Amino acid sequence: MPPAHTLLLAAPRGFCAGVDRAIRIVEEALARHGAPVYVRHEIVHNRHVVDGLRARGAVFVEELDEIPDDGRPVIFSAHGVAKSVVSEAMRRRLFTLDATCPLVTKVHREAERHHRQGRHILLIGHAGHPEVVGTMGQLPVGAVTLVEDAAQAAAVQPPAGVPLAWTSQTTLSVDDTAEIVAVLAARFPGLAGPAKEDICYATSNRQAAVKAVVARGASLVVVVGAPNSSNSVRLAEVAQRAGAEAVLVQRAAELDLDAAARHAVIGLTAGASAPESLVQEVVARLSARVDLAVEDVTVAEERIEFRLPPALTRDPPLAPRPLAAD
């Protein structure tokens, strides 16, 4: 008799190159310099990852004033930071390592380029998200207007008589962003945009994989990720808009097995900051409850890898000392 349930594993899923690089930066800093290593903000939005690094000696803080002047490494998270944070670190001569995702840095440079060319920036993103705070903090106050959704795009009133450009947070819904850009472009002819889409390849690929899983018949999609992880929340939204139910869980124990067992075909994915071990936890929990056939649904192969900062690749290691951010 064939299995009563099918589990479709979306691929790609889980760690992206930017998250992998950020975690490796903390791990390498601990290996080279020992504990403690200070990290401003969660290095990535995943409690399991953060708790694991904390157990090895990483100290997570929200602001630089929580860090003593003891010469220990200070790491900026994958989400990026405002220029004022970098300036404060340099003023205090902190030994800093920048774990900002290179694709976020690309958005920062893009915003600066538009600003130099006299354009006002319309930033598509979510208020208060660390990446948005960091991007807005690359430019003077008033140089960027945040647009969170299509309704705001239809109502926003940027400075009159100033050329405009748009850029976006890297972890947004591809479909939502396209809708917002369409509204802005219709209202503001001549609106400049990025040379290449700001939403990162990993976000786009994971959303495409979720759509493919639903198209293959999944009526429930389980997303492994944190509630404060933008890309994880977007995956759940993409599944719902594709016609499936969706649940966001941080660990397998949070999954309601009775509810899941009512679905003959279940999809499973993970946000870009969730390790594969947590996905396999969910597979094991479901397999213990129901007769399960597991299939892969792959929409893309990812081979991108980002290099570590030079301060962590020098041999012999660079000793902790006052250093501007890499």
Residues 60 and 130 in one domain: no
User: Which of 187, 219, 235 is the endpoint of a domain?
Assistant: 187
pLDDT in tens, 287-308: 999 999 999 999 999 999 999 9
Residues 171 and 236 in one domain: no
Residues 219 and 293 in one domain: yes
Residue 322, in any domain of the structure: no
Q: What angle do CA 94, 97, 102 make, to 5 degrees?
A: 145
Domain that holds residue 287: 5-15+200-298
Q: Report the CATH number that the domain containing residue 27 is assigned in CATH.
A: 3.40.50.11270
Residue 273, in any domain of the structure: yes
Residues 206 and 294 in one domain: yes
Residue 214, in any domain of the structure: yes
Give the pLDDT confidence score for residue 214 in this predicted structure: 98
Give the pLDDT confidence score for residue 4 in this predicted structure: 82
Which residues does 296 contact at the CB level (< 8 Å), separation at least 6?
8, 9, 11
Nearest-angstrom CA–CA distance, 86 and 184: 32
* CA distances to 25, 36, 87, 108, 152 from 78, in Å: 10, 19, 18, 13, 27
Q: Are 197 and 124 in contact (CB under 8 A)?
A: no
Which tops the pLDDT comparison, 152 or 4? 152
Residue 305 burial by Cβ neighbours in a 10 Å radius (0-12, 13-18, 19+): exposed
Residue 31, in any domain of the structure: yes
Residues 134 and 204 in one domain: no
SS3 166: strand
Of the pLDDT bands very low, low, confident and very high (cuts 50, 70, 90), residue 1 is very low
Q: What is the average pLDDT across 229-235?
A: 95
pLDDT in tens, 147-204: 999 999 999 999 999 999 999 999 999 999 999 999 999 999 999 998 777 789 999 9
Domain count, the chain: 3
Residues 94 and 150 in one domain: no
Which residues does the annotation mark as catalytic? 131
pLDDT in tens, 100-137: 999 999 999 999 999 999 999 999 999 999 999 999 99
User: Which of 130, 158, 187 is the endpoint of a domain?
Assistant: 187
Residues 240 and 164 in one domain: no
Residue 48, in any domain of the structure: yes
User: Which of 187, 210, 240 is the endpoint of a domain?
Assistant: 187
pLDDT in tens, 50-87: 999 999 999 999 999 999 999 999 999 999 999 999 99
| Residue 323 confidence (pLDDT) above 90 | no
Of the pLDDT bands very low, low, confident and very high (cuts 50, 70, 90), residue 318 is low
Closest of 5, 3, 8 to residue 213, by C-alpha: 8
Give the pLDDT confidence score for residue 158 in this predicted structure: 96
